[in-house]
Amino acid sequence: MTKILNFFQKNGWTILLGIILVVSSVIKVLEVSGGNFPFTMDQGRDMVDIRHMVVTFSPRLVGPTTSINGVLLGPFWYYFNFIPFILTGGNPSAIVYWQIIWYQISVVALWYVIKKQNRSFAAIVAMCLFLMPTGFNTARYFWNANSMPFFTTFFFAALIVAAREKTARNLLLLGLISGLSMQIEAAFGLLLFPFAFLYLLFDKTKIKQMMALIIGFGATLIPQILFELKHSFIMTKVLLSEFGGKGDMLGEKINMSERIAQRWEHLNLLVLRSSHLPPNWVPYIYLFGLLLLLSLIVFRSKKASLKPWSMSLYFLLFSAIFYLLFPQKLKIWYTLGLSIPLVIFLSAVLNYLLECKFKILKVLAIFLIYSTIYYSVKSQTDYTRDVAFKPSDDRSNMRNELAAVDWVYQNAEGKGFKVFSYLPSVYDFPYNHLFWWYGNQKYGYQPFETAYLPGQPEYIRDVDKLWTNSRPLESADLTFLIIEKDVDMPSRTEAWLGNFSKLCTTKESTFPWGTQVKMMSPCKK
């Protein structure tokens, strides 16, 4: 019995983290199982672009679009998702699971890095990240911006290692992660390299050593530089126009007082989403932690956990300065990565209380740690029961979209057909990909034609090369229409239907979430 007790005392944190890792992973997977996640134009576009790369063996120099029309991210997001795409033949669910796996891996990596200096602090950071609300929210659908939290986690792990041992390898890796993160979400990722550079510079890193950091970061820019050279610096011109005051793609500029108010509101939201603890507790814990950390810095504390703690505060201050200079309103997805330094900061506060000599503070720390676990599990199991496990009324939910695809194939009865889809977003990227992947996988063939309207200019490159298993039309011109209800512009739906005035409905169905499917054939004279 004594040996068993000693084992649990020595390995208690590891056992607890193992349980939390498994439980949080299972919950995240359950919440999106069976295609229960949004598959909108953004996700569909990404799958179409990756599909083109895979099928035509064509490399890309750029990735998804940014909030500035005409400015594209680097291609890393697409290459990052190559493996799950290829292994599953293009199943979008695989990208969601891939994102969940990498978030969990990033937390383990940060835990391993911090554990070398402070085991309890490392365990609390990992626990809080595994259970962070933003971690669950961003795991519910794949999108490049939703991957920013785990790339930021990798960044902090690499920065801690580089600050600890300033070797060329560590600095090169930090530079690479900084650059690749900028290809995930530019509005946040562009902060990482300059912060790493300044932090290490103030940490007495020699300029000669910093060359490895610069080289690592610079290497990630090569694809976009080549793209710019090939296209006469088209993105550079758009950026200069936008930030030179000639463009308004990012929205209306706001004055400094409006910025401060909006940033404060934005920060409060991020703070509340950093923990499942009751909302009226969390701001006070952060305020206490800020006062505590400032006092420790003033009195030059040598605690091992102080460096990541202060690092998180410096990053938050650095971000605050940058975003105050940014003239437009912040979108919430710009700053998803800020949840990571916030959680590191919060974890450092809990660890300080746990290691404190005063028993009452130790008891408070244990209570807060227990409450974090309790409220996190309760919140997510409630969500799973009340939302994830119930039918979705979202027309862009992939499970619902697949129901429409099934209806089309079942009524086609093995015949070749055309299918045209009306989505409020105009482009039919989601259905285009689902017919290519799901239709071929489940029913053994693809439609003769798939588009948002017949006879449109090519908006998906090399269509003829992509549809490798299309079934030709028979004598009857069998056509299906998929119509997602457009609440904002119903007149546009009617105008779209006018393109099919020579076809008559032979069968139709309206799903509970508002999507309508029609089987059409030429009208009899």
Distance CA 162, CA 156 (A): 10
Closest CA to 156 of 378, 28, 6, 338: 338
Q: What percent of the chain has pLDDT over 90?
A: 60
Range of lowest pLDDT (140-149, 255-264, 375-384, 434-443): 255-264
User: Residue 4 has what pLDDT?
Assistant: 47
* 0.85 surpassed by pTM: yes
Mean pLDDT of the 507-523 span = 91
pLDDT value at 259 more than 60: yes
Tens digit of each residue's pLDDT (9 = 90 or more) over 446-483: 999 999 898 887 778 878 888 889 998 886 789 999 99
**CB contact at 8 A, 172 and 200:** no
Mean pLDDT of the 205-226 span = 91
Break the chain into its structural domains and give their ranges. Answer: 11-388, 398-522
pLDDT value at 1 more than 60: no
Greater pLDDT, 342 or 488 = 342
DSSP letter, residue 279 = T
Mean pLDDT of the 275-284 span = 92
User: Residue 239 has what pLDDT?
Assistant: 64
**CB contact at 8 A, 404 and 515:** yes
Tens digit of each residue's pLDDT (9 = 90 or more) over 343-366: 999 999 999 899 888 888 889 999
Measured CA to CA in angstroms, residue 328 lies from 101, 259, 364 at distances of 34, 8, 41
Tens digit of each residue's pLDDT (9 = 90 or more) over 475-514: 678 999 999 988 888 888 888 888 888 888 999 999 999 8
Distance CA 387, CA 381 (A): 10
DSSP string spanning 68-119?
STT-B--THHHHHTHHHHHHHTS-HHHHHHHHHHHHHHHHHHHHHHHHTT-H
Distance CA 64, CA 74 (A): 8
